[in-house]
Structure 1
């Protein structure tokens, strides 16, 4: 595949992933776990995301190939850990794709959310098939629209007169497990910078571009999340946000600005579609890398001669996501996805620990903190998410063992 993406394109791909369902869907589950203490959880998720981003950027500069932590784990920890990372990413992010599609359906046409979700998956799979450069252009337009609407929402809420700064303080009954669970759910929103690393074969000058793009995208996303979460909390409060089906729409309604609620609905659909597009990009590239090494069927490693994309991997991912979008629940998908992605980044931090000073390691405190944070947040998630995620990872380990036994 050709290296077509520069810094701006790579940053846009990351933002397109992070400004999707995280803003429009993850705030309510996080508030249900920790109330107004979700801001504390947001800060914790941001710290762990910074550690993960730093580790991923250094590894991507050293190993600029498609596959992300699947490649890093394989090269630095061994074949099994690479396989497990790839398995966690593909399964977790496939659930994320379904969550994005269902978010779009819930905002666009709530009575037929599943049907809209399946149509969205088909459309974004087709855009992905057209080539990574076209996908980057679409994502750039999506990010611009979403940022404009979010800026209008924050301005309207803060000037509406219905805000109360006292609602931002954490409650007296806030506990560490509640904060960890909220952080784990919110981390679902920050994981989009991985899309930049998984496109390693399509980024120009990856040793320079990927680290800059990863950290820039994370910084912008954190600023947006903090401002929007504070504004919504100030008008709805912790309990109101926890009970909200569409929290940003309800915040827009509370602001009382004509047309703003409709604009937020449109932005939610567009953001979810943009995130779905970048997720399909990232998952299909990881499937490509795993298929090359025969951890998945080798036929999925094919690259289209004209569009220069892993077209079979993309179509396979799209088909699986379409089935999930027709049957799954958004909030369950978020919890399951968070567990898989946190395990994925735990392996990324363990891989970064092995870097020598001549290969990009500065201090081991960053990967150590990232590894500890990922594991703590993963096992603080709802029990159903932990059990489902553990079962899927066990299945992945069994597949690896069977493959090795056959060889």
Structure 2
């Protein structure tokens, strides 16, 4: 074993499909991955295991929960993106369960920890769904279901060598990474806290309903996990930072669990509740939520046109405000950030001017990912690049944000905030 390398076992989670013959996909990839992992393990002197579904878990555990937990716990996510079906218009499709697990892994692991495999006998990777175009090409092989044993063994050996190179790169990066500060368990606690908040919002329901379509940003400073005391006087002193601008109309409120500000909610035709266009709230012991309306339907237009740069501006403005308030409350330092787009079925994300548009999103919500930031200090824009890229990809743009130059966000200079 190398010096100063912990004795942890690096885990590869394998997401497989059985729509194609096992001997040319499921079992083929698993055997190639097992052999590759064994060679990489010997090279680096660290244990590496390949796991799938609920294997290795005693009893009869709930399948979905177990798979999601294993994805969270794995170091590398390997998925079989071989085409298994076609849509009514002839579009080739991977297995839907694999796609679902890939989507979860993308949020949980990030691109650098994901490996895709594909048997191109059933279609080339160029036909992968649009949302996968930004990834590097999958590790590929070509093997017909009718291939003889000798050809299959040769193909598996060659493919295992490809996986070995990809796994080696990932393991080398993992070994070079410094000890995470705060500890992995602290990040896990923060992610669980944000996940509970995003998916329930029951224990601390929002006192203000923000009009769709909207951007919802949640931030939990790691320091808040220690349940620091938030005095009412200290929070009151930060109130001027809650609104998105100094000239915004503001309505404040608080209860025993939270403080909030918003613009005065207004009646909406054919809707029972008043709706605001923005809200900012701080929930004990230190979780922030900022919601902002990002667009509005014009007349009876079927689509809602939103400029992508405006979504970037709202995102940066929200996190910068949170960072300022957190610093004043002693909650600066590492934090976990999550952002979602909600009520976006009819939204089209456009470039600089109406008409330079992508595609209608046609789904009710989309995640811009959850990721850690090492220092919750304004200005935060440069640390939000991955979220901005996710937004553009969701909107149908495959080249990411046009507002980054040399790794820096140019929105500050162009007064977009």
Taking structure 1 as the reference length, what is the TM-score of the superposition? Answer: 0.25
Bigger helix fraction: 1
Taking structure 2 as the reference length, what is the TM-score of the superposition? Answer: 0.24
Q: Computing the radius of gyration over CA atoms, which structure comes out larger, 1 or 2?
A: 2
Structure number with the bigger relative contact order (C-alpha 8 A, sep ≥ 6) is 1
Bigger strand fraction: 2
